[in-house]
Amino acid sequence: MPKVQTKFGEMEIEEQDIIRFPLGLPGFEHLRRFALQSPADLEPFRFFVPLDNPDISFIVTDPFLFFPDYEFDLDDMSKTEIEVTEESRLTVVVIVNVRDQIENATVNLAAPVVINDGKRLGKQVILSSSRYTTRHRLFNLEHTK
Amino acid sequence: MLVLSRKKGQSIVIQDAIEVTVLDIEGDTIKLGVQAPKNVPVFRKELLESVLQTNREAAGGNLAPQQLAEQLKKFKKK
């Protein structure tokens, strides 16, 4: 690789950082290889870069940081697809929708991105329970004013 | 499109594997029960559409990373 030009500038991406998404993402089924980048000044946000089309890029974050009660069961089919076993370590991030102002950012809790760290395999899992929506506000302005 | 009339308690079967039963009818709301193998995902259509839509929006976000970092700094100070 290791340098990739992305929408967010040049990034260094090592071979072992590449995560394969066998099904792509809903709406982006042709994108199969991604990398997570964590620039220090963007903490707690990370870039989720599709290496097959670095012109677009996603911003993701740790859902448990903003929603401590967030939880879901990974369905059996998803477990098979990303080869999850008892010993697997998983990373869960959710896609952030920023538009123009960070204050108005929402996250998609209904479709978390689940990554099997060891296997470097990932999937955006759609949760069938109606508990979460695709647009939860990240920041509750009432509390911060 | 195949159109079938069903009464409460009646079902349709798709490919011997998927059974959709009308459980209840109340006003304009119909409660459906779906029995399907584990490898057949079943979703409300509007959820799938919403995931597609939000993914497209998120990918097309036009905030540059510098702007994002700036806004984030401001936000953390609050």
Per-residue pLDDT of chain A (145 residues), as tens digits, is 567 777 667 778 888 889 999 999 999 999 999 999 888 878 888 989 999 887 788 999 999 999 999 999 999 999 999 999 999 999 999 999 987 777 888 999 999 999 999 999 999 999 987 789 999 998 876 554 4
pLDDT, greater one: B12 or B61: B12
Q: If contacts are CB pairs under 8 Å, which of residues 86-105 in chain A contact chain B?
A: 95-103
Which residue of B54, B62, B66, B71 to mutate against A (max A Cβ within 10 Å)?
Answer: B54
Single-letter residue type at A35: A
Q: Which of the two residues, A6 and B56, has the higher pLDDT score?
A: B56
Best of B31, B51, B52, B66 to substitute, by most chain A Cβ atoms within 10 angstroms, is: B51
- Residue A133: HSE in the Cβ half-sphere, 13 Å Cα cutoff: 7
Residues in chain B within 8 Å Cβ distance of A45: 68, 72
Residues of chain A contacting B68 with CB distance shorter than 8 Å = 42, 45, 59, 98, 102
pLDDT band at B74 (very low <50, low <70, confident <90, very high): low
Pairing of strands B29-35, B18-26: antiparallel
State what percent of residues in chain B have pLDDT above 70: 83
Strand ordering across the sheet containing B11-14:
B11-14, B18-26, B29-35
DSSP letter string over B45-68? HHHHHHHHHHHHHHHT----HHHH
**For a pLDDT cut of 90, what percent of chain B falls above it?**
68
pLDDT of A142 reads 56
Determine the Cα–Cα distance for residues A42 and B69; give it in Å rounded to an integer: 6
pLDDT at A89: 96
Mean pLDDT (chain B) is: 88
Q: How far is A63 from chain B, CA to nearest CA, in Å?
A: 16
pLDDT tens for B10-28 read: 999 999 999 999 999 999 9
Q: Does A103 contact B59 at a Cβ distance shorter than 8 Å? A: no
Q: How confident is the model at residue B62, as a pLDDT?
A: 63
Question: pTM for this structure?
Answer: 0.87
